[in-house]
């Protein structure tokens, strides 16, 4: 449970406020693009902006990039809740919400939109890998936003693992529930930028995962041990992995199948939520 303070002054400009908000969002988008470009260039990629097509039914993605080994299309999404929070605080009210640690509809919608944008651009950029760059940029709790992005990509569940000596640990379980990676196998991976820097998460369901693994971007980031697939997540992050095909809506059945995989462990699924309150003082 947390309570946080927000220390900006708010002025009611009426309809003009929406114009200024729109301009600010455009500026934020530009900063996000520059931030991603800087990180990709530091990894040795040559990056260019994709030209906007005003006649396209679906927006095109943001960037194309190349290195000595591979070609990429990249859509950039900054994830935060600031507009919604400010609207509540401007009314003199307290922003309250309960959030899941492991999945977020908002993040899932952004990834779905990114996939559509990559798809709309791919005809002109044939045989490019599709990547989504996700920035955890919440000024309130960027680390928690980072956790929600991971939870949405991998369909994470919180599992209590009761060991033989009676000790209990909370562990992530990948692909326990429906995941963005499973739902969108066309997306080859996600570049995650957050409080701990940059990481590359390869989509285990992509038919091109071996290309991602051999790419210049992956080889550069692997020097810093920040390239992940399900095996790396299981090893480095102490995760369980539900890498089997079955109906994810039947939680009890998934747990039983997980117990078969990890024989001898007493595993239980948790409903992991957090309440937040943000007030202007």
Q: pLDDT (tens digit, 9 = 90+) per residue, 237-253? A: 889 999 999 999 899 99
Please calculate the CA angle 142-104-20 and round it to the nearest 5 degrees: 60
pLDDT at 17 over 70: no
**Which pLDDT score is estimated for 274?**
67
Q: What is the mean pLDDT of residues 151-157?
A: 93
Helices (H), the chain: 15-42, 82-90, 105-121, 142-154, 180-183, 209-214, 216-222, 230-236, 251-261
How many whole angstroms separate alpha carbon 25 and alpha carbon 209? 34
Give 245 or 88, the one with higher predicted confidence. 245
Q: Is residue 162 part of a domain?
A: no
pLDDT at 101: 65
Confidence band of 69 (pLDDT split at 50, 70, 90): very high
d(CA 257, CA 251): 10
Asked if the structure places residue 225 within a domain, the reply is yes
pTM for this one?
A: 0.83
Which positions ≥6 away from 232 have C-beta within 8 Å?
A: none
**Res. 5: pLDDT tops 70:** no
Q: What is the CA radius of gyration of the chain?
A: 20
Q: Are strands 46-49 and 63-66 parallel, antiparallel or unpaired?
A: antiparallel
Residue 25 in this model has a pLDDT that exceeds 70 = no
**96 lies in some domain:** yes
Q: What is the mean pLDDT of the chain?
A: 84
Q: Per-residue confidence at 151, pLDDT binned at 50, 70, 90? A: very high
CA distance readout (Å), 280 to 24, 87, 97:
21, 12, 15
Question: What pLDDT does 4 receive?
Answer: 35
Arithmetic mean of pLDDT, 136-165 = 85
CA end-to-end span of the chain: 19
Residue 95 lies in a domain: yes
Select the highest-mean-pLDDT range: 15-24, 31-40, 142-151, 162-171.
Answer: 31-40
Q: Residue 11: which pLDDT band, with cuts at 50, 70 and 90?
A: very low
Count structural domains, the chain: 1
Higher pLDDT, 171 or 163: 171
Of the candidates 278, 256, 279, the residue with the CA atom closest to the CA atom of residue 269: 256
pLDDT in tens, 117-140: 999 999 999 999 999 999 998 766
For 226-230, what is the mean pLDDT? 95
Is residue 126 in a domain?
Answer: yes
Give the sign of the dihedral formed by CA 76, CA 81, CA 84, CA 85.
negative
The answer as to whether 161 is a domain residue is: no
* Structural domain range at position 94: 2-152+180-234+275-280
Across the range 9-13, mean pLDDT stands at 32
262: in domain: no
Strands 63-66 and 71-79: antiparallel
Give the model confidence (pLDDT) of 186-218 as tens digits.
999 999 998 889 999 999 999 999 999 999 999
258 located within any domain: no
Cβ neighbours, 10 Å, residue 122? 16
176-203 as b/e: b if 16+ CB within 10 A = bbebbbbebeebbbbbbbbeeebbbbbb
Q: How far apart are CA 148 and CA 155, in angstroms?
A: 10
Q: For position 27, what pLDDT does the model report?
A: 54
Estimate the crossing angle of helix 142-154 against helix 105-121, to 10 degrees: 60
């Amino acid at each position: 449970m947390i309570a946080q303070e927000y220390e900006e002054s708010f002025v009611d400009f009426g309809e003009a406020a929406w114009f200024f908000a729109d301009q600010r969002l455009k500026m934020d988008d530009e900063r996000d693009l520059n931030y991603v470009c800087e990180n990709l260039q530091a990894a040795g990629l040559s990056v260019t902006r994709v030209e906007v097509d005003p006649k396209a039914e679906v927006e095109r993605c943001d960037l194309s990039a190349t290195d000595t080994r591979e070609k990429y299309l990249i859509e950039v999404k900054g994830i935060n809740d600031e507009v919604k929070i400010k609207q509540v605080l401007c009314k003199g009210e307290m922003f309250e919400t309960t959030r899941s640690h492991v999945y977020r509809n908002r993040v899932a919608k952004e990834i779905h939109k990114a996939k559509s944008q990559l798809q709309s651009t791919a005809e002109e950029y044939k045989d490019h890998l599709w990547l989504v760059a996700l920035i955890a940029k919440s000024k309130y709790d960027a680390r928690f936003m980072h956790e929600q992005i991971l939870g949405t990509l991998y369909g994470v569940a919180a599992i209590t693992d009761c060991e033989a000596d009676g000790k209990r640990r909370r562990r992530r379980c990948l692909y326990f529930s429906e995941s963005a990676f499973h739902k969108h196998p066309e997306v080859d991976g996600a570049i995650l930028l957050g409080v701990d820097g940059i990481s590359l998460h390869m989509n285990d369901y992509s038919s091109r995962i071996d290309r991602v693994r051999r790419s210049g971007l992956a080889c550069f980031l692997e020097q810093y041990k920040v390239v992940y697939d399900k095996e790396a997540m299981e090893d480095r992050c102490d995760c369980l992995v539900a890498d089997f095909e079955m109906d994810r809506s039947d939680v009890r059945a998934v747990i039983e199948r997980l117990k078969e995989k990890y024989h001898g462990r007493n595993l239980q699924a948790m409903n992991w939520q957090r309440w937040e309150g943000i007030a202007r003082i």
